[in-house]
Amino acid sequence: MSLPESERAAQNARRRKAWGKQAANYDKQIGFFERRVLGDHRSWACEQATGRVLEVAVGTGLNLPLYPHDADVTGIDLSPEMLAIARTRATDLGRILDLREGDAHELPFGNDTFDTVVCTYSLCNIPDVERAVGEMKRVLKPGGRLVLVDHVRSTSKVVLAIQKAIEFVSVRVDGDHMTRRPIEQVRGAGFDVQQSERFRAGIVERVVATKP
């Protein structure tokens, strides 16, 4: 169920503040979890991207070095502090990219604009997944590709119990949900799911879907 606008705004404000505080240490923190828990799925996600690409919640730009050189990449993020790091990363790569502040609930682009939308490890934190996925669909061209990687609720009862315990704290601290599964909203939005794979006791899911 989509959140009321006032609630989205309030949750966005809390997340913007949290990500501003975490920005300087984010790469080190997520790098640890990807090496020890989640695995390497960023390269796979970026390899699926073609044409004009939008990355939703680009963060510090960890995916930027992984996109094909001929991809025309635009990135949005809620956090100006995260975007500042992403812009430095893009400059160091020698790439001129459109990186701008923006809200996943209200993407600042016209209908049918992009060939690919990529989102990695972010729908766990975006307040209104249903609305965000709907916006991703809106800005994709017909036949365009949605590429997602996220941590999701585990297929293991033991691991799921641990996730729920962590989530009790993490949602209150920075809005991070451990037990979502965005493929449900992807299907609900009317995408055609082409690929769905789960890894690490089901806690990581990779999805490729197309807009009819």
What does the pLDDT look like over 80-127, one tens digit per residue? 999 999 999 999 999 989 999 999 999 999 999 999 999 999 999 999
Average pLDDT over residues 155-160: 96
Please name the residue that has the structure tokens 């690409």.
53
Domain boundaries, the chain: 5-210
Is the pLDDT score of 171 beyond 90? yes
Q: Spell out the residues 6+ positions from residue 44 whose beta carbon is closer than 8 angstroms to its own.
A: 149, 206
pLDDT computed for residue 94 by the predictor: 94
- In this predicted structure, what is the pLDDT of residue 174? 87
- For range 60-64, the mean pLDDT: 98
The pLDDT assigned to 173 comes to 87
**What is the pairing mode between strands 140-151 and 72-77?**
unpaired
Q: What is the pTM of this model?
A: 0.96
Read off the pLDDT band of 2 (50, 70, 90).
confident
- Confidence (pLDDT) at 27: 97
Averaged pLDDT of the chain? 96
Q: By percentage, how much of the chain surpasses pLDDT 90?
A: 97
Domain 5-210 has CATH 3.40.1230.10: no
Helix (H) or strand (E) holding 143: strand 140-151
Starting from the edge strand earliest in sequence, which strands make up the sheet with 192-199, in order? 98-101, 72-77, 52-56, 114-120, 140-151, 204-210, 192-199
Q: Given a cut of 90, is residue 56 above it in pLDDT?
A: yes
Residue 57: the pLDDT is 98
Distances (CA, A) of 27 to 52, 75, 90, 141, 154: 26, 17, 15, 32, 24
Dist. CA 97–CA 87, nearest whole Å: 8
Tell me the average pLDDT across 63-68: 97
CA proximity to 16, closest of 169, 149, 130, 175: 175
pLDDT one-digit tens code per residue, 120-153: 999 999 999 999 999 999 999 999 999 999 999 9
Q: Is the pLDDT of residue 1 over 90?
A: no
